[in-house]
Structure 1
Amino acid sequence: MSERQRLMVRYLQRLDDIAPAGYTVGVHIRFASPLYLKSTYPQEWQDVYAANAYSLRDPLVFWGISKSGKTRWSEINLPDPFGVMAKAAKFGLTYGAVIACGKITSRTIVGAARSDREFTDTEIADIEDIAHGLHDVTEPPEDLTPAMIEALRLVGDGYRHTAAAAELGISESALKARLSSARDRLGAKTTAEALRMAREYRLL
């Protein structure tokens, strides 16, 4: 497990402790699709939510996309014509907080729930810290060059080093240098790990 994965696990374990009714994490949401998505809300509610495409109608999502910061669900004053919040409450998602951070083009949104009471200010601050931590630890690298990405892509497509170098019109040593630089910038120990990370970051 990489250091990045270990940090993510720790952040999610903290969320488990703070949000007894569950949570949903969407990290680096771009073009309505998150780099990483996880929900521990009741499976029955997740099924209803997905079947009715509530992500397109959820006032919590609208708040998170349009604003940065933290708030309690009860403080969100947005229209809910489909009654998403009332339906969620039937599954024990009665009280909650939502945190949004990052640029509008790469937004991270964390929703956390309780069934018994409102979150305290301290708990919300903890959730905010977790949201920022998840956002930072999964920040896609912006300094991989097109040459490094192309070298990774060819190796990922099954090309051996000699064939990949020939495809690119460079020497094998130059290809290895590009792969080495890609590993360094991704923080990967092996080319296989660099490939996995590049795919997770949607660089390939």
Structure 2
Amino acid sequence: MVRNLQELERMAPNGYSVGLNIRFASPMYFKSTYPQAWQNTYAHNNYALRDPLVFWGISQTGATRWSKINLPDPFGVLKQAHDHGLTYGAVASVGKITSRSIVGIARDDREFTDGEIEELEDLTRRLHDSAEPPEELTPAMVEALVLIGQGYRHASAARELGISESALKARLSSARERLGAQTTAEALRMAREYRLI
């Protein structure tokens, strides 16, 4: 994922916004490098619920220039973005409606070329695929994570489950591996975010 984000940074001199695997109106992963003043305005006014780029990305897949999106913008989100230096932009949307990823990029000097828009769509697909959450954890993994999440230490969680401490650690290790997490705390957070526990 890091390499793909570095490519986005290279493509977007005025920043980018990445929302991956959007489910239940909330992304599993979100990052924005747009100017901080714009990020603050956007968050303060809850523009994620009013942004024509988000509406476009939720309603279809593909990639296009911001200037080609012909949707109502009653809150003037795109004009305000322009006032913050996000003059030209492109957006890409990939994935199923139940797990959509949307990426926007911006610059202030020129429109993005057709080749750059194709590259954005490809990068968005790669980011989406790299962040795709697992479909499920085994019941044993879930039990182990839930107990650790409730504050149990390894020994007491193992006793609660009637297994050895090494068996508990094996379940936690399997959960970390399936989730692509480095630590049990990260696995627990991801499992909650993915609504697997």
Partner residue, 2:130: 137
Structure 1 unaligned runs (5+)? 1-7
Q: Kindly tell me: are residues 42 and 179 of structure 1, through their superposed partners in 2, closer, same or farther at Cα, counting changes over 3 Å?
A: closer
Partner residue, 1:105: 98
Give per-residue Cα distances to partners, 1:136-183, cap 9 Å, x unaligned: 111111241132022023234442333112212334454244234324
How far apart, in 2, do the equivalents of 1:173 and 1:89 lie? 57
Give per-residue Cα distances to partners, 1:16-73, cap 9 Å, x unaligned: 1101111111111111211111111111111111221111111000001111111111
Q: Contact 1:45–1:88 at 8 Å: present in 2 too?
A: yes
RMSD, matched Cα: 1.9
What are the residue-to-residue correspondences of 1:93-172 with 2, within 5 Å? 93-172=86-165
Partner residue, 1:27: 20
How far apart, in 1, do the equivalents of 2:190 and 2:52 lie? 28
How far apart, in 2, do the equivalents of 1:184 and 1:82 lie? 44
Aligned-residue identity in percent: 68
SS state at 2:67 partner: helix
How many Å apart are 1:188 and its aligned residue? 5.0
Partner residue, 2:64: 71
**2:179 is equivalent to residue 199 of structure 1:** no
How many Å apart are 1:102 and its aligned residue? 1.3
How far apart, in 1, do the equivalents of 2:53 and 2:179 lie? 33
Q: 1:81 aligns with which of 74, 79, 82?
A: 74
Q: Kindly tell me: are residues 66 and 141 of structure 1, through their superposed partners in 2, closer, same or farther at Cα, counting changes over 3 Å?
A: same
SS state at 1:34 partner: coil
Partner residue, 1:12: 5
Q: Contact 2:149–2:188 at 8 Å: present in 1 too?
A: no
Q: TM-score, normalised by structure 2?
A: 0.89
How many Å apart are 1:95 and its aligned residue? 1.2
**2:168 is equivalent to residue 175 of structure 1:** yes
Partner residue, 1:49: 42
Q: Contact 1:152–1:195 at 8 Å: present in 2 too?
A: no
How far apart, in 1, do the equivalents of 2:173 and 2:43 lie? 41
How many residue pairs get matched? 194
